[in-house]
């Protein structure tokens, strides 16, 4: 049976990678999915492949006006996946500046805050909803030369717990996923090069490169009724990478 029949979802960053895999999986399970990314043309092409349950809408998650338009376009939403993210500001802590700090906060963190505040009130009124924030294992351990990325993802995990605490009594669940290395455009530095990829896989108990679909199946669990007793949790999905830290 389809797990998300008659549900509407929004997936940010759905034009490729993890967000696209989540959108595909939700549609497979019967949901209508609003696809969000920065370029309408790209989203239209993706939607054409996904079929009529996909509703493309360009929205830069760092822009409040775009988010207001997204709310009008979407109507009532049962599932919100805050997936859009960036790691543009890589480098030593001492080389980071105000502009990069603000940009990382805006795209990786404030976007989720704004989107939750835009869509959760409707979920609370209806007495049900599921919000899923895509964090990272870099929010659990500091990524070398990735201070700003790690900081935003750690904060997203705490934001998830804070919202879960307040929205739970209203029937809204809020959870996060912390992926390890997943083979997407964002992470190509870590897997395109053979030496780096092999070193990564050697360290993981599960010896393959993570795929977007492996995150999407966890998002499906959190989105649907199978996770009806779960809130405030962060599922680490990393092939066991973090186990190997001693
Ligand atoms: N890949 C990994 O190894 C990994 C590991 C841990 C966590 N994550 C997290 O997983 C999430 C998805 O990453 P990914 O690996 O799938 O990356 P990706 O392949 O680069 O995809 C990023 C998506 O976000 C969209 N996007 C970027 N900036 C946006 C903005 N300002 N407004 C709206 N959409 C925006 C992009 O669409 P357009 O370019 O078309 O706008 C694209 O659809 C991110 O939050 C990332 O931090 C990834």
The predicted-structure confidence for 47-76, as pLDDT tens digits, reads as follows: 999 999 999 999 999 999 999 999 999 999
- Asked, for residue 201, whether it belongs to a domain, the answer is yes
| pLDDT at residue 1 is higher than 80 | no
Q: What is the pLDDT of residue 210?
A: 98
Q: Say how many C-beta atoms besides its own lie within 10 A of residue 158's C-beta.
A: 13
- Asked, for residue 244, whether it belongs to a domain, the answer is no
Mean pLDDT, rounded, of the chain: 97
- Asked, for residue 231, whether it belongs to a domain, the answer is yes
Q: Say how many C-beta atoms besides its own lie within 10 A of residue 197's C-beta.
A: 15
Pocket test of ligand 1: the residue of 11, 14, 17, 22 to mutate, having most ligand atoms within 8 Å of its CB, is 17
Ligand 1 atom closest to residue 61's alpha carbon, by position in its atom list = 32
Q: How far is CA 44 from CA 128, 223, 228, in A?
A: 30, 24, 33
**Residue 121 · residue 166 · CB < 8 Å:** no
Query: How far is it, in rounded angstroms, from Cα 165 to Cα 231?
Result: 8
**Residue 62 · residue 55 · CB < 8 Å:** no
Q: What is the pLDDT of residue 245?
A: 63
Q: What is the pLDDT of residue 206?
A: 97
Exposed/middle/buried for residue 93 (C-beta within 10 Å: 0-12, 13-18, 19+): exposed
Residue 130 sits at φ, ψ, to 5 deg, of -135, 125
- Asked, for residue 91, whether it belongs to a domain, the answer is yes
Ligand 1 atom closest to residue 149's alpha carbon, by position in its atom list = 47
Cα angle 201, 206, 210; round to 5: 65
- Asked, for residue 242, whether it belongs to a domain, the answer is no
| Percentage of residues in the chain having pLDDT higher than 70 | 99
Q: Give 10-36 pLDDT, tens digit per residue.
A: 999 999 999 999 999 999 999 999 999
How many whole angstroms from 1 Cα to the centroid of ligand 1? Answer: 30
Q: Give 175-184 pLDDT, tens digit per residue.
A: 999 999 999 9
**Contacts with 26 (C-beta within 8 Å, 6 or more apart), sequence order:** 4, 7, 9, 11, 33, 79, 219, 220, 223
Q: Give 190-231 pLDDT, tens digit per residue.
A: 999 999 999 999 999 999 999 999 999 999 999 999 999 999
Can you read off the two tokens belonging to residue 126? 């209806």
How many whole angstroms from 107 Cα to the centroid of ligand 1? Answer: 10
Exposed/middle/buried for residue 13 (C-beta within 10 Å: 0-12, 13-18, 19+): buried
- Domain of 107, CATH number, reads 3.40.50.720
Ligand 1 close to Cβ of residue 38 (< 6 A):
yes
Number of domains making up the chain: 1
How many whole angstroms from 111 Cα to the centroid of ligand 1? Answer: 13
Report residue 246's pLDDT band, with 50, 70 and 90 as the boundaries: low
- Asked, for residue 214, whether it belongs to a domain, the answer is yes
- Asked, for residue 109, whether it belongs to a domain, the answer is yes
**Residue 102 · residue 31 · CB < 8 Å:** no
How many whole angstroms from 140 Cα to the centroid of ligand 1? Answer: 19
Q: What is the pLDDT of residue 88?
A: 84
Terminal Cα-to-Cα distance of the chain (whole angstroms): 43
Q: Whose CA is nearest to atom 32 of ligand 1?
A: 60
Q: Containing domain of residue 32, as a range? A: 8-237
Closest CA to 132 of 123, 143, 141, 144: 123
| pLDDT at residue 90 is higher than 70 | yes
Q: Give 201-212 pLDDT, tens digit per residue.
A: 999 999 999 999
Report residue 89's pLDDT band, with 50, 70 and 90 as the boundaries: confident
Catalytic residue numbers read 149
Report, as an integer, the average pLDDT of 156-175.
Answer: 98
Ligand 1 close to Cβ of residue 18 (< 6 A):
yes
**Contacts with 8 (C-beta within 8 Å, 6 or more apart), sequence order:** 31, 32, 33, 34, 74, 75, 76, 77, 78, 79
- Asked, for residue 138, whether it belongs to a domain, the answer is yes
Q: Whose CA is nearest to atom 23 of ligand 1?
A: 13
Query: How far is it, in rounded angstroms, from Cα 109 to Cα 98?
Result: 16
């Amino acid at each position: 049976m389809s797990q998300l029949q008659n549900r509407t979802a929004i997936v940010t960053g759905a034009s490729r990678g993890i967000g696209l895999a989540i959108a595909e999986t939700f549609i497979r399970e019967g949901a209508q999915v609003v696809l969000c990314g920065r370029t309408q043309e790209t989203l239209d092409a993706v939607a054409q492949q996904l079929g009529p349950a996909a509703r493309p809408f360009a929205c830069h998650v760092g822009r409040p006006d775009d988010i207001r338009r997204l709310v009008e376009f979407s109507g009532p939403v049962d599932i919100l996946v805050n997936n859009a993210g960036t790691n543009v500001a890589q480098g030593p802590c001492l080389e980071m500046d105000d502009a990069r700090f603000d940009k990382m906060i805006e795209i990786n963190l404030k976007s989720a805050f704004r989107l939750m505040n835009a869509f959760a009130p409707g979920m609370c009124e209806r007495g049900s909803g599921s919000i899923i924030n895509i964090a990272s294992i870099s929010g659990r351990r500091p990524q070398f030369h990735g201070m700003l990325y790690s900081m935003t993802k750690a904060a997203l995990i705490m934001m998830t717990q804070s919202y879960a605490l307040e929205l739970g009594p209203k029937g809204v669940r809020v959870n996060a996923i912390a992926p390890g290395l997943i083979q997407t455009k964002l992470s190509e530095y870590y897997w395109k090069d053979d030496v780096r990829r092999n070193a990564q896989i050697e360290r993981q108990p599960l010896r393959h490169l993570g795929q977007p679909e492996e995150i999407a199946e966890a998002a499906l669990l959190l989105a649907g009724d199978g996770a009806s007793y779960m809130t405030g949790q962060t599922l680490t999905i990393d092939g066991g990478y973090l186990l190997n830290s001693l």
